[in-house]
């Protein structure tokens, strides 16, 4: 039987979200080895199949990157202000 890509992604997502391959296999009526192949292919090809935990981690990491970029910008501005207030500019060159 031929399965469409969305069906395969959903099957893989169920496994990545913590269900066993065996239970997904029984639930969907697909051979376990087929689900293993789809999972392996999705992970190798980076098909955008992510578990809920992976999505939450990605969101948290992107938020942390934005926070660190803002902190970096603030520190850079403070450094530039203080540098401009120093009497001898030659110390910095």
Q: How far is CA 88 from CA 4, 56, 72, 77, 79, in A?
A: 70, 49, 25, 19, 15
Structure tokens at 15: 């496994």
Structure tokens at 24: 């997904």
Q: What is the CA radius of gyration of the chain?
A: 25
Model confidence over 33-70: pLDDT tens digits?
999 999 888 877 776 666 777 767 877 899 999 999 99
| Contact by Cβ (8 Å): 51, 17 | yes
Residue 88 confidence (pLDDT) above 70: no
- C-alpha span between 77 and 74 (Å, rounded): 5
């Amino acid at each position: 039987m031929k399965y469409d890509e969305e069906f395969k992604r959903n099957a893989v997502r169920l496994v990545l979200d913590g269900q066993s391959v065996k239970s997904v296999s029984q639930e969907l009526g697909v051979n376990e080895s087929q689900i293993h192949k789809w999972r392996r292919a999705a992970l190798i090809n980076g098909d955008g199949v992510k578990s809920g935990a992976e999505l939450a981690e990605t969101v948290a990491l992107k938020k942390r990157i934005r926070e660190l970029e803002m902190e970096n910008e603030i520190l850079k501005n403070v450094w530039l202000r203080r540098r401009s207030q120093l009497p001898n500019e030659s110390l910095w060159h």
